[in-house]
Structure 1
Amino acid sequence: MEYVYGIHTVESLLRRNPKSVQCLLLQVGRDDKRMAALLELAQNQGVAVSREPRADLDAMVNGRHQGAVARMSAAAVQEGSAASNLWRESDLLQAVENKKGPMLILVLDGVTDPHNLGACLRSADGAGVDAVVVPKDNSADLTPVVSKVACGAAEVVPFVRVTNISRTLQALQERGVWLYGADGGAEKSIYNSDLKGSLALVMGAEGAGMRRLTREQCDNLIHLPMAGSVGSLNVSVAAGVFLFEVVRQRSAPDK
């Protein structure tokens, strides 16, 4: 069994992929407006609902469930993802070739903390990212923790696991996507960079940053100016700042 939990995450799942949910488990005694809305949504989608004691829900998941847990089989999780936002590398490249306007892709080169991955997905959704790319090895994967932190974004943002990041980056370059690597030691600032064209923002692992070969493959290295005594930001916070600078530049009127 797989469990997805948290009111926002469960609501998103019920709206976008209700067939993957075997049963919605709601905490006994919670009858507030948010819980009533979740119950009504589940009933409208034909999803079975069971009331469970809080202690039982606590034992099912390792996190703050807010009184709402969706129970799914592992097969349903994989099938649901494949039908919605779990892409292959070929899907990503096809999307690049088909899109009329500039692409915005987030590449996470070895982010292993599920909380950071979930936060990156949430920022990616807010910034209108076309896809998030991660390596199959040495990277966090979509898990209930990621879904909880992402608050629904894990079910909608196209998510691409690739065997070879370097090969994928090269394929993107060949299709006109510029690679911008986030590097604290870079000379060029994000605010002095033109980010209006098709680009992939490459973020490195927590602490270690990008791998050497990934860094060397980037077309441009850019840094985020830091005014205080702290030398860097958490990868998910930095990703959000970088992504929304892209959004700001693309939405600014031409002078």
Structure 2
Amino acid sequence: MGDDAAVSPKDRFLTVYGRKPVLEALTDPELDVDKVILADVARGPAVTEIQRAAKAVGVPVQRASAHRVKVLAGNGKQDQGVLADVVAPRMRPLAAALAEKRPPERVLVLDGITTPANVGMILRTATAAGLGGIVVPRRGVAALDPLVVKASAGVAFRAPMLRCATAADAVEQLTEAGYAVYALGSQGAESLFDLELPARTAFVLGGETAGVGGDVAQLVAGWVSIPMPGGVESLNVSAAAAVLCFELVRRDGQHGH
């Protein structure tokens, strides 16, 4: 995929908004800010400070209407008239990752997870566990916004996020690319701890209330569950993701991945 123009900005940047998050992004030496967009009505000392910080690191500042800033931040969010596009170096389209010479061996797919705190914690955990890819579909999952970044403790910027339209779309692409795709469920499935792991495996994590969606359920190769001898029905999805990720670390640890 040599054609960079084909990659949407949403597949390259995380957008942060609000005066404090934007200033923090500009002053973090590890982050590469692509641009800052200020509402033309935004004034005052905080705005001056943002302009000064952007200039110091050579980041262009564009002015736009307050309405445009609101739309870019995702309507109704507390954008305070300012946002910044931060480069997420490991974020790319799922199709691009699958076309690489060494595609990721272990992949998570988020399906219908709408709570930013859960998405952020899953990004943090999966990145910490060294997973090769976390599919965050553009539809049906919480938008990658400052709440997600905050819940990830800033790790979201470095997470290997793979983008596609929907979770079902991801499962189809992964299956075609030779992955065994399992859905994580709570009842009656094979135990995660007994599962034979093929070389390329993907796991779908379902939403907080509905679990894995019906369209996705029809496409997966099978279901796995985390054994719960204590008789509780299910774990929070980010807790389940943590168990899954570190079970993969434990297994793959023998090969020094």
- Normalising by structure 1, report the TM-score: 0.69
1:93–1:172: 8 Å Cα contact kept in structure 2? no
Residues in 2 aligned to 1:233 and 1:195: alpha-carbon distance in whole angstroms: 22
Alignment: residue pair count:
207
1:206–1:235: 8 Å Cα contact kept in structure 2? yes
Residues in 2 aligned to 1:213 and 1:101: alpha-carbon distance in whole angstroms: 25
2:136–2:164: 8 Å Cα contact kept in structure 1? yes
What's the C-alpha RMSD, in Å, of the aligned pairs? 3.4
CA 216–19 in structure 1, closer or farther in 2 if over 3 Å, else same: closer
> Which residue of structure 2 aligns with residue 203 of structure 1?
205
> Which residue of structure 2 aligns with residue 220 of structure 1?
222
Structure 1 residues without counterparts, runs of 5 or longer = 26-41, 49-70
2:115–2:142: 8 Å Cα contact kept in structure 1? yes
> Which residue of structure 1 aligns with residue 96 of structure 2?
94
Partner deviation per Cα, 1:133-182 (whole Å, 9 max, x = no partner): 23322320111111111012210113234223323211211111110110
CA 148–213 in structure 1, closer or farther in 2 if over 3 Å, else same: same
Q: What one-letter code is carried by the residue in structure 1 that aligns with 2:240? A: A
Q: What one-letter code is carried by the residue in structure 2 that aligns with 1:3? A: G
> Which residue of structure 2 aligns with residue 125 of structure 1?
127
Residues in 1 aligned to 2:198 and 2:27: alpha-carbon distance in whole angstroms: 31
Residues in 1 aligned to 2:27 and 2:144: alpha-carbon distance in whole angstroms: 15
Query: Where do 4+ consecutive residues of structure 1 move more than 4 Å?
Result: 9-13, 18-22
Matches within 5 A, 1:158-169: 158-169=160-171
CA shift for structure 1 position 132: 1.8
3-state secondary structure, aligned to 1:106: strand
CA shift for structure 1 position 17: 1.4
3-state secondary structure, aligned to 2:218: helix
> Which residue of structure 2 aligns with residue 84 of structure 1?
89
CA 186–94 in structure 1, closer or farther in 2 if over 3 Å, else same: farther
Between Structure 1 and Structure 2, the one with more helix by share is 1
CA 131–47 in structure 1, closer or farther in 2 if over 3 Å, else same: same
1:187–1:223: 8 Å Cα contact kept in structure 2? yes
Residues in 2 aligned to 1:18 and 1:189: alpha-carbon distance in whole angstroms: 43
